[in-house]
Amino acid sequence: MNLETVVLAYSGGLDTSVAIKWIKEKYNLDVIALTIDLGSERDLPSIRQRALDVGAVDAKIVDGRDLFLKYFAFPALQSGAIYEREYPLATAIGRPLIAKLLVDVAHETGAKAVAHGCTGKGNDQVRLDVSVGALDPNLKIIAPVREWKMSRPEEIEYARKNNIPIPATVDSPYSTDVNLWGRSIEAGILEDPWVEPPAEVWLWTKDPKDAPNTPQYIEIEFEKGIPVALDGEALDGVTLVQKLNDIAGEHGVGRIDHVENRLVGIKSREIYEAPASVVLHQAHAALEDMTLSRDQARFKTTVSNQIAEMIYNGLWFSALHQDLRAFVESSQRHVSGTVRVKLFKGASMIAGRKSPRSLYQYELATYDKGDTFDQDAAMGFIKLWGLPLQTQANIQMLGEGVTAPMLPEAESSSC
């Protein structure tokens, strides 16, 4: 298009609608609205129309669901990326893709700037800004909500004056973000970490007390760490994740209540609903237990934590992530097989797992007939394994004994 254009990530909500007008006023730039569907189940044609009504010169819709799973969510699953033991990173994983699509459309249209509706307090601004900068350092980034310093009532007043339709959701006390990998809900009463989330925050998961009284067993098949079939039926990623969200959500699985550490230095209380990603992570980990060596598994835990932190902190497109991904991809080459999961009243439990590449060997593990494990070899092994301790005990500890706090005081000299 021209130098006077900006591509805005447009959600259809109040903030980004007001932003269309505000950008024109403040920067005298025309806005191309870009609405990206990552599986949030919104009425996209009417969102597109709203952007045009508010004054966007063009409004595009991109179905990013396939890309999202293939290049972001499933790789994150292979990585075992869970932030602070709880959060499967749905929102965080969506941001680099949104940045990528903003940059793509800017290049297609010749726009020299991109814009988003993030506030100045969260992680999302960091993820978008850093990702855009990594993909095209020359693009200018405008973040109206961070810049305009309007309070919510002032913003609504601005919308009224400018004939910007006020969405019905404006009264919701919650801030939400939704994609196939999960829902994030924050603000309102949730800001009191002592208060149990009210029933209304949950849209994808049944209250476990209302979930079916009989457990449901499902089978998830993985190929190289990617889920490819559900209950024996080969499915594309989007269908598989949607189905799993429905099934696990019906059983009340996937509710997360987390006080997390934001990159910008504050703790915040976040509620997540992530039925599919919770079950997939659990099943994937169970399959890795079968197919990775002890050393691979131990090392991968470190890599998983590092990747999770980088994803959370907006460093998806960093060189280190790329390097660690090479390790993860290599680690997944035998992570194929099927995991059986039992869903019941808010819980998901691994019920079984099998893999043609399994390192679990019945003949070695069994205590029954057919045991091939050489128990005689254990003695020699233990002798060498314990040798350094024995040496040290002889030279340094004899007489002194093992001292507290390793042993209770009274018994400390007896070995």
Q: Given the rule CB under 6 A, which residues bind ligand ARG?
A: 91-92, 123-124, 175-177, 184, 186, 270
Contacts 24+ apart (CB under 8 A), 187-196: 190/269, 190/270, 190/271, 191/269, 192/269, 193/259, 193/269
Measured from the CB atom, the residue of 12 and 337 that comes closer to ligand ARG is: 12
How crowded is residue 4: how many other Cβ atoms within 10 Å of its Cβ? 14
**At its nearest, how many Å lie between ligand ARG and the CB of residue 104?**
22
Q: How far apart are CA 321 and CA 93, in angstroms?
A: 13
Least Å distance, CB 350 to ligand ARG, is 27
CB of 244 to ligand ARG, least distance (A): 21
Among residues 48, 50, 65, 95, which one is catalytic? Answer: 95
**54: helix, strand or coil:** helix
Any catalytic annotation for residue 15? yes
Q: 260: which DSSP letter?
A: E
Residues 318 and 208 sit within 8 Å (Cβ to Cβ): no
Nearest to 286 by CA among 216, 338, 329, 218: 338
Residue 373 CB, nearest distance to ligand ARG (Å)?
46
Query: Which residue number, 92 or 292, has a Cβ lying nearer to ligand ARG?
Result: 92
Looking at 37, 42, 104, 175, which residue is catalytic?
175
Token pair of 328 as six digits: 């993860």
Q: CA-CA distance, 177 to 9, in Å (whole number)?
A: 13
Active-site residue, selected from the candidate residues 30, 124, 129, 177: 124
95 is catalytic: yes
CB 291 within 8 A of CB 196: no
Minimum CB–partner distance for residue 92 and ligand ARG (Å): 4
Residues 1, 110: contact at Cβ < 8 Å? Answer: yes
CA dihedral 103→104→107→108, nearest 10 degrees, is -150
| Active-site residue, 323 included | no
Q: Which is nearer to ligand ARG, 119 or 372 (CB)?
A: 119
Active-site residue (options: 15, 30, 129, 177): 15
Least distance to ligand ARG, CB of residue 96, Å:
12
For 266-294, letters b (16+ CB in 10 Å) and e give eebbbbbbbbbbbbbbbbbbbbbebbbee
Torsion of CA 161, 162, 166, 170, to 10 degrees: -70
Q: Using the minimum distance from each CB to ligand ARG, give the nearer residue, 92 or 98.
A: 92
Identity of the residue, 15 or 219, whose beta carbon is nearer to ligand ARG in the bound complex: 15
Q: Which is nearer to ligand ARG, 186 or 288 (CB)?
A: 186
Backbone angles phi and psi of 99, in degrees to 5: -60, -45
Residues identified as active-site: 15, 95, 124, 175
